[in-house]
Structures are given as C-alpha cells and as structure tokens.
Amino acid sequence: MNPVGRGIRNAFRNGVRTGAIVIILGLSIGLSLTMLVAQRAVENKIKSVKSSIGNTITISPAGFTPGSDANNALTSDDLAKVQKLAHVTSVAETLTDRLPTTGSSAPTFGKFGTGSDGGSSTSLTSPITLNAHGGGMGGERFFISGGEGGSLPADFSLPVSFIGTNHPANLTTDYSATIARGAQISGTADSNNALISSQMAVKNNLKVGDTFTAYSAALTVAGIFNTDNQAAQDTVIVSLAALQRLSAQGGVVTSAVATIDSLDNLGNATSAVKSTLGSNADVVSAQEEADNTVAPLNSVKTVSTFSLVGAVVAGAVIILLVMVMVVRERKKEIGVVKAIGGSNLRIMGEFMVESLTLAVLGAVVGLLIGVVGGQPVTKMLVDNSTSNTTTSTQFQRPGGRTFAANAEPNGGFGGRFDAGLRRNSAVEGLRNVKAQIGPGLLLDGFGAAVLIAILGSALSAGLIAKVRPSTVMRAE
Amino acid sequence: MLEVKNLVKTFRSGDTTVIAANDISFSVPDGQFASVVGRSGSGKSTLLSLLGALDLPTSGSIVVGDRDITKMRDHELIGYRGRSIGFVFQSYNLVPNLTALENVMLPMEFAKTPKAERIKRGKSLLQEVGLQDDQMGRKPGRLSGGQQQRVAIARALANRPQLILADEPTGNLDATTGKMIFDLLHSLSRKEKTTIIVVTHDLEIAGKTDKTFHLDDGRLVSNNRS
Ligand SMILES: Nc1ncnc2c1ncn2[C@@H]1O[C@H](COP(=O)(O)OP(=O)(O)O)[C@@H](O)[C@H]1O
Ligand SMILES: [Mg+2]
C-alpha cells in the first residue's frame, strides 16, 4: 500500500460523510464550471463582436437632429482632409435624402418629409406598404418616435430614400445585397445611373436600362440588387456626386465611414479625425462602438468572473474545514506515524491525496452540473443584462437617425445606412451567446478540483506539522 | 550502549512547572532487558519519549551508540525514530485504516525497504508473533487486544531497531495475555539481540528483567533489582 493508495482509502473511511462532502463540493465546483462556461462564452462573443465591427471610424455632422434646419452639414472638403490623414486608407461618404412619390400627399415631419430642396419628387413608388401587418387604413400601427407626429392622408405613400455614395460596394455589402441584374455603379462618376432593389423594380415595373424621374431629372436603372434588408428595399443608390448635384447640396455629406489601415492605429486615427473636424462632426470609432455594444456582455463577464472566484473559494473553504476536522480527528494517528518514522511531508502528502480524492469526486459531480447548467445559465445571464440595455442603445447614436428603428419592422421608415440600426441587430446578436461545453471543460473541472484541494489542504498541512509525536505517549 | 546523563524535562502548564525528569543518569548495555517502575505520574512515559526522540529534553544528553540524539536535526530524528527505535504502546496505536500486515510494513516503507522484502518480512514477523494468516489482512478493529499488541510488537521489530521502548505494553490486557505478550517481547529481543526498556506496573514482570529503574516524582531512586 503506497501513500497514494492510503490517501485514497482514507477518503472513504466514513462513507456517509464522504458522500455528503462530495455532493456539497460538487455543487460548488458545478457552479464554478457553469460560471466558467458563461465567462468563456461571453468572452468569445465579445471577441467576435469586436473583430466583426472592424477598424472603421463613423463620422456624422455634429448634433444632427432630425427635423431641424439648424443642422451643421459635413462637407466633402472636410472629409478630403480626413482622407489625407495618416493611416486613413479610404473614406466612404454618403448623402441621404428622400423624395415623396409624385402626386402623393405627405405628412409633414420636417426635413424628412419632403427633402431639403422642397418640392422635388420622384416617379417611383415605395415597395413598402404601411398596412402590411393588417392595420387598417391610416396605418394605426405606424409609430413615429422622435418626430412630431402628423396625421396620415389617405393617399399617403412612403417617401423613397436616395443615397449617394462614393463607395457603392461598401453599401451593398452593408445591406448584404447582391447585384442580380445589370451592374454595380461607379461611385466617382457624376452620372445618372442608379441601383434599385428588386422589390422597387417590381413595384415600378422597371428593368435594367429603364429610366425614372427624380429631382426633375431622368435616372437610369443601371443595376438591380436583391436584399433581405427592409430598409434597403425602398432605397435608390446613386453616386455621391450625382446626388449632391441632383439635390442641389454641393459638397454636402450626411455621414462618412473612414477605414483605418490597422486596428492598432484606430485610437490615434480617431483622435486625429476628431481634431481635424473639430466640433463640426461627431466621430465614433468602431472600437468605441464595439465597446458600447459589448458593454452589457462585459457586465455578464464580471458577474461570472466573481461567481467563479466565489465558487472556487467556497469549494476550497469546504475542503479546508473538512481537512482541518479530519486532521484533528486523527491527531493521535498522525503522532503514531511520526513516531514510527513518517516525515511531515509524507503525512501531508497522504492528506493531500485524500483531499484531492474528495475534490476530484466533487469535480465529477460538478462536471455533470456544469454540462447541464452551462448553457441555460449563460443564456439567463446574457438575456437579463442585454434586455436592460437594448432600448437605450438604440438612441445613443449621435445624429438621431435611428429614430425610426422603433417603427414596425415593415415600415423601414427613417434612417437607413446607419450604424445605430446595425448595432440594434448586433445587440440582438449578443443574445446569441453560445456556451461551449467541450473536452476543455473536463480539464477545467480537474483544474478547479486540484486548485480547491491544494488551497483546502494548506491549513491542514500546518496542523499536521504541529502534531507532536509525543502525543502517542498520552493515555486516552 | 545507551547512556543517559543529567536528563531534565520540565513541563510548564500555566503558573506551575512540573519536573517530569529530574537529573536522571543511567546506562543500559546493548542487548539488555531493562524495566522502569514507579507510581503513576512519576515520569516513566516522559523518560521513554525522551529516549525515543519523541520529545526533546530541557537539558542533559542521551547517547545511543556514539551519537547524542539530543543534538540531532529534525530529519535525523525522523530517521532515528524510524530505524533505531521500535515503540510498543499501552493502547497498541495501530493505524486503524491499515491491515495488520500493512501496519507492519509501514515503518519499512518509511525506511525505503523494497516492497517485496517488506511483504516477506512483514508476514514472517506476524507469524513469529503468532498471528494467523487470515488475520494478517484484517484491520485492527477486527482483532482482539492481545492480537493488536502482537501486531504492534511485529511493527516495532520491523526495521530491526537497536532499542525497543515499550510503555506498559500489557496494561490493557488480562493477566494471561499480558504474560504471553511479555514473554514474546522477551524472547524476540533475545533472538534479535535488541535492547529493551519496558515500563510496567507489574513487579513480577519487572523481576524477570536484567535491570529495574525506580522512578519517583521524576527522580531515579534506585537502579537495583527490586
Ligand atoms: N505534555 C505535558 N505537558 C504537561 N505536563 C506533562 C506532560 N507530559 C507529562 N506531564 C506531566 O509530567 C509528569 C510525568 O508524567 P508521565 O511521564 O506521563 O508519568 P507516568 O508515565 O509515570 O505516569 C506528570 O505530572 C504529568 O502530568
Ligand atoms: Mg505513563
């Protein structure tokens, strides 16, 4: 019988007690593992959110308020300066506008209702209808948050969005749109070529090469794209220069996304852009945006980290108390072993094996708990913390163009190419945290058990060292 | 040769100081069988713990062979206890979770004896002390007092110690069993040429030993045959 064998055998001296200890330890280790699973899952999600958002900086006019005429404009000249900054590889500029369908009545909600030049209209009709959800005429279900609500006339149809961009490819990527017919337009040429969605094409009976009217000019359908993005379906994409000319907003840009050569330079580049544009613009780096997005997950991570540490400590305290009790109980026996030539280290080793045995058995029970509890606990923690923040996140974005994000899903009314909108979906995505329960968990469980056993035996080792061999001479 | 000189051991408990060994000097030649007698509390167990290096004296020296054990370092003391001393206690003090054979093998394991030899010697020692084969695999709880003390004697002999220290080895046994255990101790030490010091109340037993030390209140009052 070697010391390991003796240690293991000693763990089973008192079967009932061993059983009770193993169950309690199992609960504590199970909780540790559950928290570890949650923490890993959240950490992975944070990583993937951060890496998916990428190394970009979003620039929008400062204090942009929908419906206000006092908004600062961002200009292509400003952005040209940004383009010249170190580490900036490209600046995708966009100008958004919307036009009512010729002949339709429109409610008044400021700038967004009629477009900035007033009086302009388009021959296109939006493919998006208001009562698609079964609401009656007048669109009872239509919800405008943030705008001054107006009553909707009977012949109302949603305005059509126009977006001018110098990087049409970025835009179609944002939409997950694919060019189904025709070709991508050029972002640099000032031509009247336009991209429309297949829904728009069907609604207005248009095919590639057909023309339609907007801003009293004839625009040519150069390409038709497919997209599931509701917001994109009633949007016409033209080059930036074209929309600036057509809408008589020379040099004006409503938002821009600067791409930085590497994530490492993002912080510096963001400061540089901020100082270049001054108070003219709101500058938000993808980093900050990612940070805001994952903020609720970070709190989950904190909670799970504390619980993990707490559970490990609880397990260690359990073992500690048990081992102290056991050492006191076997004081005489320890004295005997010392009297017949056993060293402190040997005896401590035996007790260590005993506490390890208890901890490993606890880990087996804990592992079962971790496997069963990992996913539901992760989901619960993530759901709780993200649901509190989803709504507020929507309105955090400067520029307020998220204001329609609360509209009925089918409404697609309001801001489109907007990071805020994307972020909402990112927050939804956050809920989708997958707890991974793999073979790594076995190692973690074993690691936790070893850690708990070592921490828990520390005090008993001290007690063992203090047992004097002469205690064996005492009559009991 | 075991040589004890001016051995003093005091215990302090609260305000009172107990002098459990008061300037004790004596010697025991190798292979002798000596006994220690005295009233309860006279310091017999204290003397044995000092001789067995279970405790350190307040002053004085204990020379075993050519080494003063009171000057040994901790790891040397562990080695001394394990290899040079065999203990037999009144309450047997077997390790309850180990079988009789495992108890006998334990000191040999501490002395790094190879496993095969441990098993062989363990079994032959248990046979010598009169344990049946089927009792060797039993834990102490399933052995009688006399059988447990036989196992304890086998364990004390395991590493062929120079000195066996037995503290009232028959104190918990009935007279007949006690006598058998004493005779066993006696004959085995003769055979293995081991020095034995046995503490006893039984003057008849003490009368059979080569030398008897009388202790009274920590003092050695006579080392003659009584
Ligand atoms: N560890 C100790 N602490 C305090 N007093 C002790 C201790 N060990 C023994 N004594 C005291 O020393 C004296 C001798 O005890 P002991 O050697 O056990 O006597 P005996 O074995 O002859 O009955 C007693 O008065 C006892 O109370
Ligand atoms: Mg005594």
**Residues A328 and A229 reside in one and the same domain:** no
C-alpha closest to that of A224 among A184, A187, A188? A184
Interval between CA B101 and ligand 2 midpoint (Å): 28
Ligand 1 neighbourhood includes B38 CB (under 6 angstroms): yes
**Residues A81 and A46 reside in one and the same domain:** no
DSSP code of residue B12:
E
With a cut of 90, say whether residue B137 has pLDDT above it: yes
pLDDT in tens, A291-312: 777 777 778 778 778 887 888 8
Ligand 1 neighbourhood includes B20 CB (under 6 angstroms): yes
Domain boundary among A253, A280, A314: A253
Ligand 1 neighbourhood includes B41 CB (under 6 angstroms): yes
In a domain, A56, yes or no: no
The residues, ordered by sequence, that sit 6+ positions from A375 with a Cβ below 8 Å of its Cβ are A37, A434, A435, A437
- Start-to-end CA span in chain A (Å): 28
**Residues A155 and A95 reside in one and the same domain:** yes
Ligand 1 neighbourhood includes B50 CB (under 6 angstroms): no
pLDDT in tens, A106-119: 554 444 444 444 56
The residues, ordered by sequence, that sit 6+ positions from A476 with a Cβ below 8 Å of its Cβ are A332, B91
In a domain, A282, yes or no: no
Nearest CA owner, ligand 1 atom 16 = B43
* A466 in contact with B, Cβ within 8 Å: no
**Counting Cβ atoms within 10 Å, is residue B56 exposed (0-12), middle (13-18) or buried (19+)?**
middle
CA distances from A276 to A272, B59, B170 (A): 6, 87, 99
ipTM above threshold 0.90: yes
CA-to-CA distance for A62 and A68, rounded, in angstroms? 13
Q: CB A341 to CB B111 under 8 A?
A: yes
Chain A nearest-CA distance from B183, in A, is: 23
Decide: A297 and A46 in contact? Cβ < 8 Å: yes
**Residues A431 and A381 reside in one and the same domain:** yes
Q: Which of A9, A339, A474 sits opposite B97 (nearest CB)?
A: A9
Chain A nearest-CA distance from B93, in A, is: 7
Q: Which of ligand 1's atoms lies nearest the C-alpha of A470?
A: 1
**Residues A148 and A187 reside in one and the same domain:** yes
Identify all chain B residues contacting A472, using CB atoms and an 8 Å cutoff. Answer: 54, 87, 89, 93
CB atoms closer than 10 angstroms to residue A23: 13
Kindly state the tokens that stand for A263.
Answer: 């994530």
Interior angle at CA A65, CA A60 and CA A69, nearest 5: 105
In a domain, A230, yes or no: yes
**Residues A39 and A80 reside in one and the same domain:** no
CA-to-CA distance for A438 and A440, rounded, in angstroms? 5
Strand partners, B125: none
List the pLDDT tens digit at each of the 476 positions of chain A: 688 899 999 989 888 999 999 998 888 888 877 877 777 778 877 777 777 767 888 888 876 555 555 556 788 888 888 888 888 888 889 898 888 888 776 554 444 444 444 568 888 888 887 654 444 444 344 444 444 445 556 667 788 999 999 988 887 777 888 899 999 998 888 999 999 999 999 999 999 999 999 998 999 999 999 988 888 888 999 999 999 999 888 888 888 888 888 877 888 888 888 888 887 788 888 777 777 777 777 787 787 788 878 888 888 888 889 889 999 999 999 999 999 999 999 999 999 999 999 988 988 888 888 778 777 877 777 776 665 443 333 332 333 333 333 333 333 333 333 433 444 445 556 666 666 666 776 777 778 788 888 888 888 899 999 999 998 887 65
Domain boundary among A253, A281, A308: A253
Structural domain of A332: 3-50+296-475
Residue of B nearest to A338 (CA): B78
In a domain, A61, yes or no: no
Strand ranges inside A227-352, DSSP E: 235-239, 252-253, 255-260, 281-285
DSSP code of residue A177:
-
**Residues A382 and A437 reside in one and the same domain:** yes
Interval between CA B46 and ligand 1 midpoint (Å): 6
Query: For chain B, which domains are there?
Result: 2-84+161-225 (3.40.50.300), 97-159 (no CATH)
In a domain, A272, yes or no: no
**Residues A340 and A242 reside in one and the same domain:** no
**Residues A18 and A79 reside in one and the same domain:** no
Interval between CA B83 and ligand 1 midpoint (Å): 26
Total domains in the fold of chain A = 2
Nearest CA owner, ligand 1 atom 7 = B11
In a domain, A95, yes or no: yes
Dihedrals phi, psi of B66, to nearest 5 degrees: -120, 20
Complete edge-to-edge strand list for the sheet that includes strand B163-167: B85-88, B163-167, B195-199, B33-38, B211-216, B219-222
**Residues A456 and A343 reside in one and the same domain:** yes
CA-to-CA distance for A380 and A435, rounded, in angstroms? 11
Decide: A297 and A386 in contact? Cβ < 8 Å: yes
Q: Strand pairing of B33-38 and B211-216?
A: parallel
**Residues A244 and A119 reside in one and the same domain:** yes
CA-to-CA distance for A369 and A463, rounded, in angstroms? 33
Dihedrals phi, psi of A474, to nearest 5 degrees: -70, 135
Q: Which phi-psi region, left, alpha or beta, contains residue B161 (left: φ > 0; alpha: ψ -120 to 50)?
A: beta
Kindly state the tokens that stand for A445.
Answer: 């469980």
**Residues A346 and A464 reside in one and the same domain:** yes
Ligand nearest the Cα atom of residue B51: 1
Ligand 1 neighbourhood includes B42 CB (under 6 angstroms): yes
In a domain, A245, yes or no: yes
Ligand 1 neighbourhood includes B16 CB (under 6 angstroms): no
DSSP code of residue A122:
B
CB atoms closer than 10 angstroms to residue A397: 25
In a domain, A263, yes or no: no
- Single-letter code of the amino acid located at A372: V
Q: Strand pairing of A160-165 and A235-239?
A: parallel
Domain boundary among A225, A253, A281: A253
Interval between CA B59 and ligand 2 midpoint (Å): 21
